[in-house]
Amino acid sequence: MDLTSQALLAAQFKAEALFREVVERDMVSAGKLESELTAQIHALAQSRFELRRHWHKRIARSGPNTLLTYHDEGADRRITEDDIVYLDFGPVFDAWEADFGRTFVLGADPTKHRLVGDLAKAFSSGKELYRRSPDLTAGQLYDHVAALAAAYGWEFGARTAGHLIGHFPHERRPQDPAHFSIRHANPMALREPDETGVQRHWILEIHFIDRAREIGGFYEELLTVDARDADPHLAG
């Protein structure tokens, strides 16, 4: 595994550890505003993980707000009993970006718990498609995970299913922002190297929604690096 892959995976391991602490401390709880939750998690990240900055805004969405995408702005909502909540954080650890998203269910609603399970299955399916398809394009991967939403009984909730990730700040193309996103009809090969010949790295994002029930869920992490290939010391 090259040094860039190791650095990105190490950043993701820290993000995973942060989310584990969020769960262990029962921070996702009824009665709390979404803004309060993001502030508390940010404070935890600063104190426990020496976090100094994020490369994108911190997001906590609950209930009907889980239908919203990263780019949508919703009213600050108070989390309720039996709610569904998703978190999307983009911390920068040692100048390397992480982008990590998970969904939590308060209560025992079987439909919401099924949604959480389907998000993880869809991510695994998308990652496996990437592993076995050397010429896979961004558009093909988007179409694959969007089709899974319908197969599982959901709707895909966003026009994109991922983006580049890397050393802060990562590569951008302001004149054509869609070029570096996983979206329908994007012909860019995911394994196409950058202008210096270095491998690009991608995040895969799964956003499934049910408009009738007004619920959604979100799951994201690295697409192009496998934790199973990592040096065991990275997660230590």
3-state SS assignment for residue 32? coil
Structure tokens at 41: 């998690």
Question: Residue 67: what pLDDT?
Answer: 98
Mean pLDDT of the chain: 91
Over residues 168-181, the pLDDT tens digits come to 655 566 656 678 99
d(CA 158, CA 86): 15
Question: Residue 71: what pLDDT?
Answer: 84
**Amino acid occupying residue 73:** E
Over residues 53-71, the mean pLDDT reads: 83
pLDDT of residue 116 exceeding 60, the answer is: yes
- Residues of the chain above pLDDT 90, percent: 71
Most trustworthy range by pLDDT among 61-65, 69-73, 88-92: 61-65
- pTM value? 0.93
20-24, 149-153, 163-167, 206-210: least confidently modelled range: 163-167
Over residues 73-92, the mean pLDDT reads: 93
Contact 165, 91 (CB under 8 A): no
Question: Residue 152: what pLDDT?
Answer: 98
d(CA 226, CA 128): 10
Structure tokens at 22: 């969020």
